[in-house]
Amino acid sequence: MKDIMTAPFLTEVRKLLQNMYRLGWDERNGGNLSYILKEEELTPYLDVTKVIRNNPTNFDAKPLAGRYFIVTGTGKYFKNVYDDPENNLGIMRVSADGQSVELLWGYADGGRPTSELPAHFRSHISRLSVDPEHRVVLHTHCTNVIAMTFVHPLDARSFTRTLWQMCTECMVVFPDGVGVLPWMLCGNDEIGVATAEKMKEFRLCVWGMHGIFGTGKSLDEAFGLVETVEKAAEIYVKIMNKPILQTITDEQLWILADAFGVTPREGFLEPRK
């Protein structure tokens, strides 16, 4: 067996979470990640027949049965992942009946998966149903998105439109827009179900007064979506109290969509002239 500390997927996760901590988005135990691993990525580093212990999923995760994940631990700090991945991360497989996860590596101090596991796993199920290549669910407390949810209406159309208007690249990066949920209690299955419902349509879901969920085929894609939304939200909170002299018009957003070959979410722009 090769040393798992040299596995590319683990290095990528450690670096990403360190970077996010440094961005100031993941205070204390804020934020969590789950990333689908392929068996062939794992087997050079891990005997996948050796199960350390089982943790209940507390919902039916059968559509994910047999899939491998790397998941941040509940109560763990992004700040600490880089230096101590074995205590702060876990590698697991969803059991055949979908009722538990089989820990194969990590959570060395007896830990468990993130409290947001239902939101993660349910979102994986939604995204896989529309994109078989999907692999990542990333939750974070990015500062300006949270700020924006206090001062902006929380409907997907107007929230998305404002973000698109804040920087030219937004339309190109997330033409499908962002889903938005109002404030809800976190860490339970209800918010998991609501998030997963949005994830059937969107790759991004804002949680009012809490943070964001971003998804993608890779860590870069999920992170890239979230950082682009966060950047747009930052510009919004910088300009919202100032006289606006010009913005990106719907006509210009259509020009961008045409130039980059993307399709804006139906109904979010005013019809072309």
114 binds ligand 2HA (CB under 6 A): yes
Nearest-CA neighbor of 269 among 251, 256, 255? Answer: 251
Compute the least distance from the CB of residue 183 to Zn ion, in Å.
12
Q: Which residues contact 85 (CB under 8 A, 6 or more apart)?
A: 5, 10, 13, 14, 106
The interface partner of residue 176, options being ligand 2HA, Zn ion, none and the CB cut-off 5 to 8 Å by kind, is none
List the catalytic residue out of 39, 86, 116, 230: 116
The interface partner of residue 214, options being ligand 2HA, Zn ion, none and the CB cut-off 5 to 8 Å by kind, is none
Nearest-CA neighbor of 228 among 156, 153, 178, 158? Answer: 178
Nearest-CA neighbor of 219 among 18, 6, 4, 3? Answer: 18
142/148 Cα distance (integer angstroms): 10
Cα–chain center distance at 235:
21
Residue from 52, 167, 172, 186 that binds ligand 2HA (CB under 6 A)?
A: 186
Compute the least distance from the CB of residue 211 to ligand 2HA, in Å.
7
Q: Determine the residue with CB nearest ligand 2HA.
A: 186
Integer angstrom CA distances of residue 250 from 193, 267, 268 = 33, 12, 9
The interface partner of residue 114, options being ligand 2HA, Zn ion, none and the CB cut-off 5 to 8 Å by kind, is ligand 2HA
User: Which residue, 120 or 265, is less far from ligand 2HA as judged by CB?
Assistant: 120
Compute the least distance from the CB of residue 220 to Zn ion, in Å.
21
- Listing DSSP states for 5-62 in one string gives GG-HHHHHHHHHHHHHHHTT---TT--EEEEEE-HHHHTTT--TT---EEEE-SS--G
98 binds ligand 2HA (CB under 6 A): no
**Taking CA 156 as the corner, what is the angle to CA 131 and CA 215, rounded to the nearest 5 degrees?**
30
Contact call for residues 98 and 61 (beta carbons, < 8 A): yes
User: Which residue, 116 or 234, is less far from ligand 2HA as judged by CB?
Assistant: 116
192-231 positions binding ligand 2HA, by CB under 6 A: none
255/47 Cα distance (integer angstroms): 52
Nearest-CA neighbor of 3 among 35, 46, 40, 41? Answer: 46
175 binds ligand 2HA (CB under 6 A): no
User: Which residue, 47 or 190, is less far from ligand 2HA as judged by CB?
Assistant: 190
Interface map 197-216 toward Zn ion (x if CB under 5 A): --------------x-----
Q: Determine the residue with CB nearest Zn ion.
A: 211
143 binds ligand 2HA (CB under 6 A): no
10-39 positions binding ligand 2HA, by CB under 6 A: 29-32
190 given a catalytic annotation: no
- The site for Zn ion (CB under 5 A) is made up of 211
- The site for ligand 2HA (CB under 6 A) is made up of 29-32, 114-116, 139, 186-187
Active site residues: 116
